[in-house]
Amino acid sequence: MEASSELEPEAAAPAARLPATIEEFLAGLGTRAFRFAELGLRHREDALDAVQDAMMKMLGYRERPASEWTPLFWSILRSRIVDIQRRRTFRLRWLMPAPRDDDDAPMDWADDGPDPQRTHDGREAYSKLAGALGKLPRRQREAFSLRILEELDVATTARAMGCSEGAVKTHLSRARETLQRQLEEWR
């Protein structure tokens, strides 16, 4: 009896952190999911479409347990990003114009912070990181974004990426090495 009462608070703690509804879960992901998609697609409108499509698809999974929503959402979004990238690759260039390359376009930032220098430094750091992430191979970029930026654990990241935990660790290690080399000169 004592052992079960000791375990109950621990078992209840993770459940308390889970969102009550799928709508609440999706509301908490919007900005992060958009940044993830924008890093992968390098095009604002395509990123918005990918996130919207992933969120709409997630609504069909509302009956699933809330503990499954996180890896499921990131897996759906990742698949949608890959689909858009493939469509671009196989696009008939003479029928449709190539997508605009917004890599050199300045980020649209609102300066509502109290410290303009700190805000500027944050923008510059994010732009450098986004540029460096954009140069990484797709799987390394996904592993870094999900593990470091989204703070997902290795198992959840592996489920979202559709690979083994070892592959996630390898992709993340390579991404960190490359990013460190790329960003070293900026420091």
Segment 8-24, tens digit of pLDDT = 443 444 444 778 899 99
DSSP output for 1-41: -HHHHHHHHHHHHHHHHS-SSHHHHHHTTHHHHHHHHHHHH
Residues spanned by the domain of 151:
115-187
Domain annotation covers residue 180: yes
Domain annotation covers residue 61: yes
Task: Report helix, strand or coil for 185.
Answer: coil
Residues 159 and 120 in one domain: yes
pLDDT of residue 3: 44
Whose CA is closest to 39, among 109, 144, 114, 115? 144
Whose CA is closest to 174, among 142, 149, 140? 140
Residues 83 and 132 in one domain: no
Whole-structure pTM value: 0.56
Domain annotation covers residue 65: yes
Segment 143-181, tens digit of pLDDT = 998 998 888 899 999 999 999 999 999 999 999 999 888
Which of 91, 124, 149 delimits the end of a domain?
91
First to last CA, the chain: 57
Cα 29–Cα 61–Cα 37 angle in degrees, nearest 5 = 35
Residues 70 and 128 in one domain: no
Domain annotation covers residue 67: yes
Domain annotation covers residue 51: yes
Across the chain, what does the average pLDDT equal?
A: 79
**Beta-carbon contacts of residue 93 (< 8 Å; ≥ 6 apart):** none
Domain annotation covers residue 167: yes
Residues 187 and 119 in one domain: yes
Intervals of the chain under pLDDT 50: 1-16, 92, 94, 109, 111
Q: How many structural domains is the chain composed of?
A: 2
pLDDT of residue 1: 42
pLDDT of residue 172: 93
Residues 80 and 143 in one domain: no
Residues 150 and 186 in one domain: yes
Residue 152 φ/ψ, nearest 5 degrees: -80, 150
pLDDT of residue 103: 52
Q: What CATH number did the domain enclosing 169 receive?
A: 1.10.10.10
Are residues 76 and 89 in contact, defined by beta-carbon separation less than 8 angstroms?
Answer: no
Q: Return the residue matching tokens 């489920």.
A: 159
